């Protein structure tokens, strides 16, 4: 156990990524609290992240040589992510079933859905700086499932609207016709077709131009952490900290959810159902260790479903992540040692 703690907390890449996260979140918080930036600045930053930096980040994740085994493994991660989301949603609903339909529904989604794109992806990229492509293929695939659940499943269920063919079209468009998903699907297209159409690998065929894509992709981590800090800076933290149910949801999301996912993966590996390597296991566990999704909180506010609880739980979960995220890395390394 001590050796694993020593391995994680003396790893220069991990320490750099973690300290960078804390410092930039703190700067975002202070900038918002001191009035150095305002809501309009936050909106501008959000637009830059989602429409420019993250699409380049998503595209860049697939700029690696195609291997059939890696492709099959990423598809498996996709299916596992779908199953794990469903399992966690059901567990959350059962835990809070006596609190009423709206409370249990919102709680189930909050326990299941975290900020995979804005939190897990940039941190994993920083931790695996020298082998980023290995882990980014898996976490990018999981991110697709995240967007489906947060923008289609959660939004539809929380709104209470029935899914019809008329409404399904706009919902699908909202999820898939976005800069992030377009960048991701273009990356997948290049990844799977590069052996037949090699010039599509613009990192090799047009490196002078591709350097811009890489530069924008590297901006994701700092910009996302700054945005998260600014969001915390808007919140009434004292009131959040007094909410017992918000704390319970945050603990279930940040600590219990990744433990459940890790245990299932460990059993799958031991029984031979599916064999994980360090990158695939780290991607799925850390992907489910991210704090509660801000997008989910916004959906609760939009449809008037437990919006106060959702907002407070989101803030506490984000703060708590600074303690629980390193534990997720330790747990994964422990599991890898026993595998």
pLDDT tens per residue across all 339 residues of the chain: 666 666 667 778 888 888 888 999 999 999 999 889 888 888 898 889 888 998 998 898 888 888 888 888 888 999 999 999 999 999 999 999 888 888 899 899 999 999 888 888 888 888 887 776 778 889 888 988 998 888 888 888 887 767 666 666 777 777 678 888 898 889 889 988 988 888 889 988 988 889 999 899 888 888 989 988 998 888 888 888 888 999 999 999 999 999 999 999 999 999 999 999 999 999 999 999 999 988 888 888 888 888 888 889 999 999 999 888 888 998 999 998 887
Cα 1 to chain centroid distance, Å, stands at 27
Per-residue pLDDT, 268: 94
Per-residue pLDDT, 263: 95
The answer to pTM > 0.85 is yes
Per-residue pLDDT, 337: 87
Cα atoms found within 13 Å of the Cα of residue 105, Cβ hemisphere only: 17
Per-residue pLDDT, 295: 83
In degrees, rounded to 5, the angle at the alpha carbon of residue 329 between the alpha carbons of residues 328 and 333 is: 115
């Amino acid at each position: 156990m001590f050796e694993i703690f020593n391995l994680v907390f003396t790893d220069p890449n991990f320490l750099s990524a973690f300290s960078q996260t804390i410092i930039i979140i703190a700067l975002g918080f202070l900038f918002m609290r001191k009035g150095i930036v305002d809501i309009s600045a936050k909106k501008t930053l959000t637009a830059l992240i989602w429409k420019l930096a993250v699409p380049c980040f998503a595209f860049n994740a697939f700029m690696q040589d195609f291997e059939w085994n890696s492709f099959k493994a990423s598809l498996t991660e996709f299916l596992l992510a779908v199953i794990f989301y469903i399992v966690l949603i059901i567990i959350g609903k059962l835990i809070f079933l006596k609190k009423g339909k709206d409370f249990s529904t919102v709680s189930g989604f909050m326990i299941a859905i975290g900020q995979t794109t804005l939190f897990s992806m940039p941190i994993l990229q920083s931790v695996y700086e020298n082998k980023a492509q290995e882990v980014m293929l898996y976490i990018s695939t999981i991110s697709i499932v995240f967007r489906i659940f947060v923008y289609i499943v959660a939004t539809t269920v929380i709104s209470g609207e029935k899914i019809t063919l008329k409404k399904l079209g706009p919902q699908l468009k909202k999820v898939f016709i976005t800069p992030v998903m377009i960048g991701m699907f273009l990356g997948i297209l290049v990844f799977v077709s590069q052996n037949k159409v090699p010039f599509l690998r613009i990192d090799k065929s047009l490196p002078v131009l591709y350097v811009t894509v890489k530069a924008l992709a590297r901006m994701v981590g700092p910009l996302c952490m700054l945005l998260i800090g600014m969001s915390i800076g808007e919140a009434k933290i004292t009131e959040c900290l007094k909410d017992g149910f918000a704390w319970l949801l945050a603990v279930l999301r940040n600590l219990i959810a990744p433990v459940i996912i890790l245990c299932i993966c460990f059993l799958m590996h031991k029984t031979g159902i599916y064999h994980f390597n360090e990158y695939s296991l780290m991607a799925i566990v850390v992907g489910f260790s991210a704090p509660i999704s801000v997008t989910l909180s916004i959906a609760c506010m939009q449809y008037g479903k437990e919006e106060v609880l959702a907002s407070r739980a989101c803030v506490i979960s984000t703060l708590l992540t600074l303690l629980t995220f390193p534990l997720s890395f330790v747990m994964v390394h422990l599991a890898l040692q026993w595998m």
